[in-house]
Structure 1
Amino acid sequence: MMHKSKKNWMRRMWFLLATIFIAAAVWFACLWQMIDRTAQEAGPRHADVGIVLGAAVWGERPSPSLRERLDCALQAYRDGYVRYLLVTGGTGEGKTLSEAEVMRAYLIEQDVPEEAILLEDKATSTYENLLFSQEVMDEYDLETALLISHDFHLVRALYIAEDLEIPASPLGTKSQVLSTTYYKAREVLALAHWQFTRLFA
Structure 2
Amino acid sequence: MLKYLLIFPATLLLASAAIVAAGLDDQIAPADMIVVPGNTVAPDGTPSPRLQARLDVALQQFRNRQAPRIFVSGGTGKEGFDEAAAMAGYLKRQGVPAAAIIEDNQGRTTEATARNAAIYLQAHGLTTAMVATQYFHVPRFRLALERAGVTVSAQVHAPYGELRDLYSTPREAIGYAVYYLKK
Would the TM-score normalized by the shorter structure come out above 0.5?
Answer: yes
Distance 1:200 1:41, change over 3 A: closer
Residue 126 of structure 1 and its aligned partner are, at CA, apart by: 1.3
Extract unaligned runs of 5+ from structure 1.
1-14
Which structure has more helix as a fraction of its residues?
1
Give 1:39's aligned residue. 23
Are the structure 2 counterparts of residues 146 and 198 from structure 1 closer, same or farther at C-alpha, using a change threshold of 3 Å? closer
Unmatched runs of 5 consecutive residues or more in structure 2: none
CA apart distance, 1:155: 1.3
Larger RCO (CA under 8 A, 6+ residues apart): 2
The equivalent residue for 2:61 is 76
1:122 aligns with 106
Local SS of the residue matching 2:68: strand
Deviation, structure 1 residue 200? 5.9
Aligned length: 181
Partners of 1:91 and 1:20 in 2: CA distance: 43
Greater Rg, structure 1 or structure 2?
Answer: 1
1:84-99 mapped onto 2 (5 Å cutoff): 84-95=69-80, 97-99=81-83
For the residues of structure 2 that align with 1:194 and 1:35, how far apart are their CA atoms?
Answer: 9
Structure 1 residue 192 corresponds to structure 2 residue 177 = no
Mapping of residues 159-178 of structure 1, within 5 Å: 159-168=143-152, 169-176=154-161, 178=162
Q: Report 1:146-165 matches (<5 A).
A: 146-165=130-149
Other structure's SS at 2:122 match: helix
1:78, CA displacement in angstroms?
0.3
| Secondary structure at 1:82 match in 2 | coil
Q: Is the 8 A contact 2:20 2:169 kept in 1?
A: no
Identity percentage of aligned residues: 23
Answer yes or no: is the 8 Å Cα contact 1:50–1:82 preserved in 2: yes
* Secondary structure at 1:26 match in 2: helix
Aligned pair in 2 of structure 1 residues 192, 79: CA closer, same or farther (>3 Å)?
same
Letter in 1 for 2:35: I
- How high is the TM-score relative to the length of structure 1? 0.82
